[in-house]
Structure 1
């Protein structure tokens, strides 16, 4: 349902870059060791990997672009977060995936904020956690596509994002990023 709402305000590109059909998702999930939220898989299949409103970048497991590859970015984020957690445990209270309840990145912003799921293997819908990298967080109790819809439609304000996002001129654009 959230994807349909998102599609109503974020036009689907004519050609999705670094998307794939459902047959390869089982390979991705086997490699990861967890079933990913269906709205994320549907989003990647429809939109591919790219950037929303010149600000929010969505990772895809099917791109060769290192900056947008889901697996590469997961490992980089995990290493960075765990390093900071050792030095500043009060500012980095979350566990990381594959720990149940740990964070797993699905995107980032142009400002360097990390967009994560809080993985809950006991339920299919995972909460969203935005991490600004300095110990400030914003949690959204809903799906990735619900979060994107609510931010772009200005139903919610993510205090971590800059005041000028979404930009009135580019909030409803999705640009696929090539490999």
Structure 2
């Protein structure tokens, strides 16, 4: 049997230090807020590892209390309409517009990672990265495969791959 991308990530990153809890009601609240289901692999990764940073540069977050304020902080419903004003700079709509980008991660240098929810099945959504230079790059999903591809690139010097959890308040 072939290992799933999540299983291969777990082999690469090791056991999570202390997270490992799933709270379906939090994801249900998030999806209710967004009005679309989120990819199962994304939820499973964050249920296993929690909020934190992949390889110390790609920060990922997830709901921890499910309040309206937290969900709005993670996924604002008053998304930018920049693509209407400057389609050359912003070639994609932003959520909550239909098919609009949904942010799922970011880097300290300003790069932002999005889901492109054009496919009916969230597992088929492509990833879109807005670089810190304002360039747009697309990559196939699912997010766990995307993370494996990032791990396979010599993109950052330093120790072996790891995921550091963000302390929760």
Q: Determine if the TM-score, normalized by the shorter chain, exceeds 0.5.
A: yes
Retained in 1: the 8 A contact 2:19–2:47? yes
SS for the counterpart of 2:73 is helix
State the partner residue of 1:173: 162
State the partner residue of 2:79: 78
Retained in 2: the 8 A contact 1:50–1:174? yes
The structural deviation recorded for 1:77 is 9.1
Cα distance in 2 between the residues matched to 1:122 and 1:86: 24
Note the residue ranges of structure 2 that are not aligned, 5 or more in a row: none
The TM-score, its normalising length taken from structure 2, stands at 0.82
Moved segments of 4+, more than 4 Å: none
Question: For the aligned residues, what is the CA RMSD?
Answer: 2.5
The structural deviation recorded for 1:76 is 8.8
Deviations 1:3-42 (A, max 9, x none): 112112122322128x642243222212221111000110
Retained in 2: the 8 A contact 1:51–1:176? yes
Note the residue ranges of structure 1 that are not aligned, 5 or more in a row: 155-163
The structural deviation recorded for 1:167 is 2.4
Alignment of 1:77-156 (within 5 A): 78-79=79-80, 82-83=81-82, 85-120=83-118, 122-125=120-123, 126-132=125-131, 134-154=133-153
Report how many aligned residue pairs link the two structures: 161
The structural deviation recorded for 1:54 is 1.6
Retained in 2: the 8 A contact 1:11–1:172? no
State the partner residue of 1:57: 59
State the partner residue of 1:41: 43
